[in-house]
Structure 1
Amino acid sequence: MTLTTTPSTTPSTTPHIPHWIDGARREGASGRTGEVTDPATGEVTGHVALAGVEEVDAAVASAAAAFLAWRDTSLARRTAMLFRFRELLNARKPELAAIITAEHGKVLDDALGEVSRGQEVVEYACGVPSLVRGGFTENASTGVDVHSVRQPLGPVAVISPFNFPAMVPMWFFPIAIATGNTVVLKPSEQDPSAAVWLAELWAEAGLPDGVFTVVQGDRVAVDRLLEHPDVRAVSFVGSTAVARHVYETGTRHGKRVQALGGAKNHMVVLPDADLDLAADAAVNAGFGSAGERCMAISAVVAVGGIGDDLVARIAGRTATLRTGDGRKGCDMGPLISRRHRDRVASYVDAGELQGADVVVDGRQVTPDGAEDGFWLGPTLLDRVAPDMSVYTDEVFGPVLSVLRVDTYEQAVALVNANEYGNGTAVFTNDGGAARRFQHEVEVGMIGVNVPIPVPMAYYSFGGWKNSLFGDSHAHGADGVHFYTRGKVITSRWLDPSHGGLDLGFPRNG
């Protein structure tokens, strides 16, 4: 997510991308808009409304007004609504994928995969009756019963990043809605149309007005959501710097916050690994979605004497990739913006100056797309050192760095010394080594011969260290607990023949 933008007040003939408030499109009233571009052409394809404080307040007020009735809607009816949404999404997912490709740039197949992974959380949330089921103890004390329930919080905010305009919101809002909350979604201003499409799909499914709201905007909208007294919780995914800001600001204003930050994901390749499998995985996980994934592999750690062989295999595969417009059947699309493309390229420049070997140079790519697209081809750097900026920073682009170490212990120490702890992978045919690795490495998600270990929806997604601020991971059991709070009821129904005063402290018995 970006908290800086260049607002536009110039009238335009391009489409206007509005808010969604009270079950309808709401045109912007702040007078500020931001440009939305097609990354494959560089053309401005729309202008998105950038909310002021008043528009955020209207969105939250709508969510607050809808909350009491939605909270009291039966689990059976909520579940039926989720199933209808799921069926509509399943039937129309190519529409959503096309919107994602047009505004983000990822290839269509990757966009379809994003929608499908988000839909897994919708399906998980369809089981909400069992997810919020409480407990009951009869006769905990003589004539006393105890039971527990989980209840929704109220209006909650979801602030999502540009790289997954559908999947990341769907990590959060299905569970929040299923458990009885109302949701205000603030999507990235760089690819905002998917959020409005999802809102319209909810309306088609019959969701009451105000239960799902979209407020477009930049930092003004984010900070108002973090400060608004009626917003009970905030879910965020984005860079570490912004995640820290979201967490500190939100908690200072008394909110529950789960803020998922940046990553530097390693793939450790041990000497006994299948190097063809490892090379395939490195290319797939390093260059898919142009490296704009928080779970992308950006650092390959070659252990022992396999470095030359592994780099040659990765380079050979990288050379076969076709970079271009995601609507033309290419393997990899453009980056989200020209500014981001130039930032990523600057890390390649810095790595080269600091002594890394540029084995495959994506700066020289000839794309299958418009000349003004935001192109940077797959890039492979070898002999990267741990103090180079291309390794220390989250590059968030199609740049794969290879580091070489002599031993398993050095590889684990390298991973654990990094400030991020999102995900990592180990490639090996040694079960003992894999078991030791998953025990010793200090990250939240681990893959064994799996390069992108994104958990299924019924597990929870989240990292350690500077990859997560707050105690709750996304979706799964953590998601249910994040969007609900527990209540325990102790009750005794007295026999009419009993009574009398007793000022002593209640005792079990």
Structure 2
Amino acid sequence: MTMVHEKTVLKNFIGGRWVDAEAAGTAPVYNPATGEVIAETPLSTAADVARAVEAAKAAYERWRKVPVIKRARLLYAYLERLRREREALARMITTEHGKSLADALAEVDRGIESVEHATAAPTLMMGDALAEVAEGLEQTTYRYPLGVVASITPFNFPAMIPLWVIPWAVVTGNALILKPSEQTPMTTLRLVELLHEVGLPDGVVNVVNGAKEAVDALLAHPDIVAVNFTGSQKTAAYVYETAARYGKRVQAFSGAKNHAVVLEDAVLAPTIDGILRAAFGNGGQRCMATSVVVAVEGIADDLVERLADGARKLKVGSGFEEGVELTPLIREEHRRRVLSYIEEGEKQARLVVDGREAMSRFPRGFYLGATVFDRVTPEMRLWQEEIFGPVLSVVRVRDLDEAIAVTNRSRYANGAILYTQSGKAARRFREEIDAGMVGINVNIPLPVAFFPFGGHKDSFYGVIGENGKDIVQFFTRKKTVSSRWF
């Protein structure tokens, strides 16, 4: 099988076959390190979505009756195939996304971790029973698949986030329609191809490439019963509201403005290193990136000086270069958006490190160096909005009380980190901070596959999170049966 035409126009994958989209238009897929177009993504129409839904409906009727242990065995084969393809997948990620090869390998590993966990589905899908809830009356709860479900995945993790969804949708007995980001679709297409090469029945997983028209068609189609989404806050709110209006089950993972609070007793060397990695890794293009440092005044001057020194020393370059720490942004349009924040910010806060200086060294590609602002306040857009780029803001506070208050003012509540050696402060932070994922001296508090992922406030729209037991709950529905025999 091949996913690409001679003209490098990608195909959809429907009913076990690569098929041309009915779309007239395409969107370019770039190599962000060079600015070159490496493929074209078809902008599929509602007709393409309808074709995928019909294939999924037919496959679901057969797949839902396959015993869960047999579905899990297929994932074991997929797991081994992913391990063999690990480096090839990572190189594909680096090519179409731009992140470093080390980050890409870590991404593939986190996806593999999810597949490993999904092989435990026979246990995780077990229900509950009680023999005597009343005289002669027993009650039992069973889990069943939902039907045809959809997932809309983002550009920044073209392997990990699809692998957080695909194995769970499949192993719980559903049929899936996947809409990858039009900016980084190639890795996701390869993941689906590999799954079929190890024996997944045709139509159980389908891929429809595209942008807004394809998304709208997925949200409105009456035979799609649940939608999983990861992306920007504005789009997440739209997906949640629209899909819910059509009566679908929805989980929409959204934006972030993650704060890292640094107290005076923090061990600064690993703290500085951790903040720099969390702020500038992946070009700052991840929802778990540290974008705000909240520094207690007693150490703020030293902290800012050391952060600035570290930011200046970060190696900028292509993700394939050895030792590169800061890779390009995904598109020129996105770089211009990030630049607009820097231009506005330098009029309001103290610009300590100007990442625009790196652009002159890279005439090709979408590069931007690490940027650090000091004396940022919550009244500034720098603090208020998700920038999704290599821009770090420092806010100064008097103490932990003010640090918690400032952090909790954010409309976002995805992740929050505290650097301290005080167990008392850590306990208080854990209890009072409003964030779905909390780190104590942990730079990126991303849960492993068997713990749930998800934020609060405008960082998440829905009730049930992703990964862990939550994802089983999202992709199944329960029936409780009451039985009495005369």
Q: TM-score, length-normalised on structure 1?
A: 0.93
Residue 121 (structure 1) aligned with residue 114 (structure 2)? yes
Could you say if the C-alpha distance between residues 367 and 156 of structure 1 is closer, same or farther in structure 2, counting changes exceeding 3 Å? farther
User: What SS class does the counterpart of residue 232 from structure 1 fall into?
Assistant: strand
Residue 81 (structure 1) aligned with residue 70 (structure 2)? no
Paired residues for 1:59-138 under 5 Å: 59-138=52-131
Instruction: Please name the residue that 2:415 is paired with.
Output: 423
Structure 1: runs of 5 or more not aligned:
1-11, 495-509
Paired residues for 1:166-181 under 5 Å: 166-181=159-174
The one-letter code sitting in structure 1 at the alignment partner of 2:435 is V
Contact 1:367 1:375 in 2 (8 A): no
In the TM superposition, what is the alpha-carbon distance from 1:366 to its structure 2 partner? 5.5
Inter-partner Cα distance in structure 2 for 1:141 and 1:315: 68
In the TM superposition, what is the alpha-carbon distance from 1:479 to its structure 2 partner? 0.8
Inter-partner Cα distance in structure 2 for 1:191 and 1:137: 49
Inter-partner Cα distance in structure 1 for 2:188 and 2:448: 23
Residue 182 (structure 1) aligned with residue 175 (structure 2)? yes
Instruction: Please name the residue that 2:441 is paired with.
Output: 449
Could you say if the C-alpha distance between residues 27 and 367 of structure 1 is closer, same or farther in structure 2, counting changes exceeding 3 Å? farther
In the TM superposition, what is the alpha-carbon distance from 1:114 to its structure 2 partner? 0.7
The one-letter code sitting in structure 1 at the alignment partner of 2:464 is S
User: Mean alpha-carbon deviation: is it higher for 358-367 or for 145-154?
Assistant: 358-367
Instruction: Please name the residue that 1:389 is paired with.
Output: 381
User: Mean alpha-carbon deviation: is it higher for 324-333 or for 292-301?
Assistant: 324-333
Paired residues for 1:450-465 under 5 Å: 450-465=442-457
For each residue in 1:100-150, what CA deviation from the matched residue of structure 2 results, as whole angstroms up to 9, or x when unmatched?
111111011101111111111111110001101011212333332221101
Paired residues for 1:237-386 under 5 Å: 237-329=230-322, 330-354=324-348, 356-365=349-358, 371-386=363-378
In the TM superposition, what is the alpha-carbon distance from 1:13 to its structure 2 partner? 6.6
In the TM superposition, what is the alpha-carbon distance from 1:196 to its structure 2 partner? 1.1
Paired residues for 1:3-18 under 5 Å: 14-18=7-11
User: What SS class does the counterpart of residue 16 from structure 1 fall into?
Assistant: coil
For each residue in 1:297-342, what CA deviation from the matched residue of structure 2 results, as whole angstroms up to 9, or x when unmatched?
0000001311110111112222221111111222221000000011
The one-letter code sitting in structure 1 at the alignment partner of 2:335 is R
Query: Which protein shows a greater Rg?
Result: 1
Inter-partner Cα distance in structure 1 for 2:250 and 2:412: 19
In the TM superposition, what is the alpha-carbon distance from 1:48 to its structure 2 partner? 1.0
Contact 2:359 2:368 in 1 (8 A): no
In the TM superposition, what is the alpha-carbon distance from 1:492 to its structure 2 partner? 2.3
In the TM superposition, what is the alpha-carbon distance from 1:29 to its structure 2 partner? 1.9
Percent identical among aligned pairs is: 47
Instruction: Please name the residue that 1:7 is paired with.
Output: none
Instruction: Please name the residue that 1:505 is paired with.
Output: none
Contact 2:250 2:462 in 1 (8 A): yes
Inter-partner Cα distance in structure 2 for 1:76 and 1:168: 24
Contact 1:276 1:313 in 2 (8 A): no
User: What SS class does the counterpart of residue 323 from structure 1 fall into?
Assistant: coil
Inter-partner Cα distance in structure 1 for 2:195 and 2:223: 23
Structure 2: runs of 5 or more not aligned:
none
Runs (4+) of structure 1 moved beyond 3 Å?
none
Inter-partner Cα distance in structure 2 for 1:93 and 1:16: 25
Instruction: Please name the residue that 1:4 is paired with.
Output: none
Inter-partner Cα distance in structure 1 for 2:86 and 2:176: 22
Contact 1:424 1:451 in 2 (8 A): no
Contact 2:350 2:373 in 1 (8 A): yes
Contact 2:416 2:439 in 1 (8 A): yes
Contact 1:151 1:485 in 2 (8 A): yes
Inter-partner Cα distance in structure 2 for 1:54 and 1:258: 25
Instruction: Please name the residue that 2:194 is paired with.
Output: 201
Among residues 450, 463, 467, which one is paired with 2:459 in the alignment?
467
User: What SS class does the counterpart of residue 98 from structure 1 fall into?
Assistant: helix
Instruction: Please name the residue that 2:222 is paired with.
Output: 229
Inter-partner Cα distance in structure 1 for 2:411 and 2:469: 26
User: Mean alpha-carbon deviation: is it higher for 332-341 or for 134-143?
Assistant: 134-143
